[in-house]
Structure 1
Amino acid sequence: MTRKLLALSVSAGMAASVPLLYQANPNLFHDLAAVGLTQITPAPEEERPIPVVNLAAVPSQKQLTGRRVELTMGSRGHFTGEFKINGRRVDAMIDTGATLVAFNEATARKAGIKLSADDFRYRIETANGVALAASADLESLEIGRIRVEGVKAVVLKDHALNDILIGMSFLNRLSKVEVENGAMLLEQ
């Protein structure tokens, strides 16, 4: 009887630890699951990454347990990562000096945001001077397991902005944004 109780306790403990192990290393579980699969289907067209012009290679992005992501500083001294705007993958740069999330018209179209010429009625101050912009409300903005809905953003003309900037309208909605030893921790 004691052996059965001990075996049951060990089995229950192992089963309870699976979710924690998955959070710590989800890629390991995906790799193990892929071994048993005979056919891997490509990602649907709407989930494929949106190319970004003039953005340096994305440095490492570490998924931590829970809703935490660690970004490593890139060679240009910026923190960049793979985000999802309205479910569409994009490479973007964290910009704590930007009030709002900002991107260009091409990115807006790919993320399903419809704008007309009349929408570009706001004059905003950018690092490159004054530009016309349109206001947008994002359904969602995600990085790793962090997901924020209803994020305010601005859309600039394609010639006015090349990079996608993740500003304070997203960062202020997180519980922690911390920089230490060349790494940025984002936590929800």
Structure 2
Amino acid sequence: MKNLQTSYLKHQFLIAMPHMADPNFAHTLTYVVEHTANGAMGLVVNRPQDLNLADILEQLQPDIEPPLSAQLVPIYAGGPVQTDRGFVLHTSGPVYQATVELGGVSLSTSQDVLFAIADGAGPAHSLITLGYAGWEAGQLEAEMANNAWLTCPFDATVLFNVESDLRLNAAASRLGVDLRLLTSQAGHA
């Protein structure tokens, strides 16, 4: 019996293939926060919502007027699971109450990072999502085997310095792939 080394995708991008049928993930770029034998968690990083940081702060502190700059900070749809829960991917620097270092990027889930961003004292670069993408044990591996995703090494430049509507193609181009040239038909060669 062969001993197969499982390749986990933590700290990688998942690029949705053009034939992705699931509307939650069609045309998405997802950052994989965690991937183990028990499953995976990721954040979609290219789907801005019709919300901004000021909207979130108004919910958290209804008696305090958020700074005008908070209206310029978009909120992204991070995935279909727990869409009321916030996640902030950001450059390393200050450590907030609930921060995990992921190797070149940090993930915070506490409100203090939101207030710091609003006050202009937060991390140099950040991306705020509501919700996350989750896969049960073996589910992401099965989707990979069915060619639903391409993987790409994480690149903070794509995450923080590329406009959200260009991130998917920017990540694919790092692999030398032009998604416009791929068929939307699923299949195996």
**TM-score of the aligned structures, taking structure 1 as reference length:** 0.30
Larger Rg: 1
Q: Which has the higher strand share?
A: 1
Higher relative contact order (CA 8 A, sep 6+): 2
**TM-score of the aligned structures, taking structure 2 as reference length:** 0.30
